Structure 1
């Protein structure tokens, strides 16, 4: 039996001013999965992540993480779940990177050897070993994002949640982030939940997605979801750039001898080669 990492049922959240952020949302994430929460700005993605992390309490419905109710066990859950905020400056507040990475470990009361071991492992896993004495505010945007991830990884979470991880990153930073996320999933079997509107990024780091716009619009594997371009656009999103290119090719020159619309450049290259070799 596969364990359930996150189980959300009939979730509703209303802010104190009466604004309904989420309504009737049900989501299930299995241990070891790579799942995306896709939606436009204002869709409720960040609110959902805060509810999963126990930073907010549902107005209605339930959120369970690792079999525990978040409303009743938020402290226990936070030791197994790591949330990386959209803005790394919200997560980095110490004079040095080492102090940021080890802050949570020291609060756990771990001995010095264990703190050093975990801190170094976390920095190494994001490629920031040797940056221990650097001031976080002197880091680049990409380095800050890695540093924020390291502060969470030091706690050794079973579930890693990232809120708009590509925000303010240049192409090089995005490429490095993809490698870090996928290496973590492969080496540590960590469960990944990525909330974003970056449709080009998601096929590189997720296998399944939920489309959210205050309510749940759709869910499924990426190929099925992005093949329904009308639904994607009605949800306030666009298909990945490569997928849109192939849609246009189909419309303009009848380039439709493909098994499925590609979501990544690698998939597109494979389909183009296959079509040329066939002809």
Structure 2
């Protein structure tokens, strides 16, 4: 499978001499959903900024589309969509239409082509009712969607998301998750997301990396990762509530496994209950 991102043993030094390191390997393949999970200050945002050439590692290996971002970002910029944590900082145009049109305009497309792309992404995200709105007056969830529309307007192969759910209410978070996964499934958009929100990881990842104290300390699918309570504790993270529950039940020697999701967990408990009823160990 085509590899879009490869990072190994990165070290960054900021102008104030602050060093940030991420030792270990991180990769993202075509159509893959990857989450880099870590506490605040673990280097997640520095990693994402390096993918688009904003920060440059002074050690290690970093390739995006087999190119060096700090030197060759212009060669793949239209294959990448980026949403940073603060949506306000990415909104600079007077209307939603103009803000989403910034990237296709930068690519030198004709106005008719720009309109086609903007209208397409507005329809895909169900945001056509916002097209003429002033983005700075929108709600936090709407602003995030507008920024996401701007990141997706060129239908990129890779979407980079930095703490995308920060400050969103549960409904807005759920809506954003649906959009991201819709593009992943329909357009094979690969996604790399940084977050410390463990409750969203299952919904947005095929593979998870845990970063702690400058090291990649774990890698696996979400089910494998969240079964490792000691690793999560080392990274100053908690298990999702569902996994906390199953950890308690497993420690009490119930024949259960850490679930893929709430439906899987409910099915395991139901099957165990049914089995115990049949064995007359509990009453129905």
* TM-score interval for Structure 1 and Structure 2 normalised by the shorter chain: over 0.9
Cross-structure match for 1:277: 274
**Distance apart, 1:255 and its partner CA:** 5.8
Q: Does 1:19 align with 2:13?
A: no
- Equivalent-residue separation in structure 2 for 1:93 and 1:235 (angstroms): 36
Cross-structure match for 2:216: 216
- Equivalent-residue separation in structure 1 for 2:92 and 2:272 (angstroms): 53
Structure 1 residues 255 and 137, CA, compared in 2 at 3 Å: closer, same or farther? farther
- Equivalent-residue separation in structure 1 for 2:147 and 2:81 (angstroms): 10
Cross-structure match for 2:9: 10
Q: Does 1:143 align with 2:109?
A: no
Cross-structure match for 1:182: 181
Cross-structure match for 2:79: 80
- Equivalent-residue separation in structure 1 for 2:189 and 2:33 (angstroms): 9
- Equivalent-residue separation in structure 2 for 1:220 and 1:227 (angstroms): 11
The two structures have a TM-score, normalised by structure 1, of 0.94
- Equivalent-residue separation in structure 1 for 2:204 and 2:267 (angstroms): 19
- Equivalent-residue separation in structure 1 for 2:24 and 2:76 (angstroms): 21
The question of whether the paired residues in 2 share the 8 Å contact of 1:246 and 1:255 is answered with no
For residues 39-83 of structure 1, give each alpha carbon's deviation from its aligned partner in whole angstroms, at most 9, with x where no partner exists. 001111110000011111111112111111223211112221111
- Equivalent-residue separation in structure 1 for 2:185 and 2:22 (angstroms): 34
For residues 227-267 of structure 1, give each alpha carbon's deviation from its aligned partner in whole angstroms, at most 9, with x where no partner exists. 1101111111111111012222344xx36211x21253222
Cross-structure match for 1:262: 259
> SS of the counterpart of 1:68?
coil
> SS of the counterpart of 1:79?
helix
The question of whether the paired residues in 2 share the 8 Å contact of 1:10 and 1:23 is answered with yes
Count of residue correspondences = 275
The two structures have a TM-score, normalised by structure 2, of 0.93
Cross-structure match for 2:282: none
- Equivalent-residue separation in structure 2 for 1:170 and 1:249 (angstroms): 30
For residues 110-157 of structure 1, give each alpha carbon's deviation from its aligned partner in whole angstroms, at most 9, with x where no partner exists. 012210111011122222112111111111111111111001111221
Structure 2 counterparts to residues 159-198 of structure 1, below 5 A: 159-198=158-197
* Range moving further from structure 2, 152-161 or 213-222: 213-222
- Equivalent-residue separation in structure 1 for 2:14 and 2:221 (angstroms): 31
Long gaps (5+) in structure 1: none
- Equivalent-residue separation in structure 1 for 2:106 and 2:28 (angstroms): 29
Cross-structure match for 1:39: 38
> SS of the counterpart of 2:184?
helix
The question of whether the paired residues in 1 share the 8 Å contact of 2:8 and 2:25 is answered with yes
> SS of the counterpart of 1:82?
strand
Cross-structure match for 1:245: 245
Cross-structure match for 1:199: 198
The ranges of structure 1 where at least 4 consecutive aligned residues each deviate by more than 3 angstroms after the TM superposition are none
Long gaps (5+) in structure 2: 277-284
- Equivalent-residue separation in structure 1 for 2:91 and 2:189 (angstroms): 23
**Distance apart, 1:167 and its partner CA:** 0.3
